[in-house]
A = this chain, B = another copy of it.
Amino acid sequence: MIISILGHGVVGKGVWDMLQNRSEFTVRNVLVKKGEKTASFMVESFDEVLGDDSELVIECMGGVDPAFKFTSECLKAGKSLITSNKALVAAHGIELMELARERNLSFLFSAACGGAIPILQNLHLARQSDSILWAGGILNGTTNYILDSMDRRNLSFEEALGQAKALGYAEADPTADLSGMDTMRKIMLISMVAYDVLPNSDYNLEGIQNVSACDFEVAKELGYTIRLLGRCGLAASGRLYSYVQPMLCPLSDIFAGVRLNTNLAQYQGQNSGLMGFSGQGAGRYPTASAILRDVWSVLGGQKQMLEKKCLVGFACNDAAECARSYFVRIDDEGLEKLSGKVGVQRIVRKDNGKTFAITDKVTIKVMHDAISELRSKGHVVFFAEMKEEA
């Protein structure tokens, strides 16, 4: 099979390395940035890839523009497509899938969700014979590294973020990771594969920007640690829910055992029960290994990861399945306002004007709406789902 690669950065270079000395594959062209051509297999013009004899193009450029232009032109030119670009799939996955389907080409994107972890391909296979009740997990290594460092090494948020940057886990601008948007994009991809629905992206999205060392102190006293969770699922009504938010999980829980920058994706199958998939969610060779598995799947004849036409959908986070207790840190006046909307089950600690409390069960929508309103009035709040013991 003749392959061309778009991009020669962290992931693209890893894919190129892994494709060497494999008799099944020939790499024809690798698109690099202007002025970065240092070898004969590199080209600086996309037209050279578009016009070459590759049957499969692997996109590892990142970003939506010009990745969408390039990948859609490749599909239109009759080339199958593999990508590791979650922003591209979250923004244009439906169009790319339709382009591929109309032409009977392959379009796979395993590496765009969970790095090395084969959650998307396993969901794709599982849903043919089982019902996926929900899916999600710890899907961002940067935030997990920060949270784990704050927990086990008692670092401040700023210290942990600094170390994550120094280790190359966090980008210069870590906003997409810290805000939870990176996790949300992965949830969007999971939802596409599990439910043929692409949920709206900014709904009930809470990252880790508001977590502080004092939250870990109190969480530890309760026997918990803090993780960032994303999840989507089907309510009994048949409607989709999806969200990203921090989670207090018991130290004995499998999520608490997810260390450093590891990811853990899960799904609950009606017949299979709870399934977990853990591994490296990022990095050159872990991500490239997921792309290579997709290359072999294309060679084996796989065309797509979506069952049918994917729809854009609005998540409905006020179903009974969305009821959770929450851990909250807030000032006393804020707590009083909150208790008008969300029952407070108990006060855990009062300290320097801050109150740490556990709420009654409320739906995700009610909680996020209540916190939004409090923040709009200037209150500083950290909140996290209380994970129940499995």
Contacts and interface: CB of A to CB of B under 8 A. Distances in A.
A272 B292 CA distance: 10
B254 A130 contact: no
Nearest to A389: B259
Given A118-B122, A129-B292, A279 B286 contact: no
A130 B280 contact: no
A116 B277 CA distance: 12
28 contacts: A116-B269, A116-B272, A128-B292, A129-B289, A129-B292, A129-B293, A129-B296, A130-B289, A130-B292, A251-B251, A252-B257, A252-B259, A254-B257, A254-B258, A254-B278, A264-B276, A270-B285, A271-B288, A272-B285, A272-B290, A273-B280, A273-B283, A273-B285, A274-B278, A275-B277, A276-B276, A300-B301, A300-B302
Contacts of A256: 252, 257
A39 interface: no
A279 B273 CA distance: 7
A295 interface: yes
Contact of A269 (B258, B274, B278, B289): B289
A108 to B, nearest CB: 12
Contacts of A262: 274
A126 B262 CA distance: 19
A253 interface: yes
Contacts of A126: 289, 293
Nearest to A252: B257
A275 B278 contact: yes
**Interface of A, helix, strand, loop or mixed by DSSP:** mixed
Contact of A125 (B251, B278, B293): B293
A40 to B, nearest CB: 25
Interface size class of A (residues with CB under 8 A): 35 or more
Contacts of A290: 272
Interface in A277-333: 277-280, 283, 285-286, 288-290, 292-293, 295-297, 300-302
Contacts of A289: 126, 129-130, 269, 271-272
A322 to B, nearest CB: 24
A301 to B, nearest CB: 6
A271 B287 CA distance: 9
A258 B390 CA distance: 11
A283 to B, nearest CB: 7
A44 to B, nearest CB: 28
Contacts of A43: none
Nearest to A390: B259
Given A116-B272, A277-B277, 11 more contacts: A129-B289, A129-B293, A130-B289, A252-B257, A253-B257, A262-B274, A269-B289, A272-B286, A273-B286, A275-B278, A276-B278
Interface in A215-274: 251-259, 262, 264, 269-274
A18 interface: yes
A104 to B, nearest CB: 16
Contacts of A296: 125, 128-129
A262 B266 CA distance: 14
Interface string A1-34: 0000000000000100010000000000000000
Contact of A295 (B14, B129, B272, B286): B129
Contacts of A279: 272-276
Nearest to A277: B277
A120 interface: no
A111 to B, nearest CB: 11
Which 8 pairs between the two chains have the least Cβ-Cβ distance? A129-B292, A276-B278, A257-B257, A272-B289, A254-B257, A271-B285, A116-B272, A271-B289
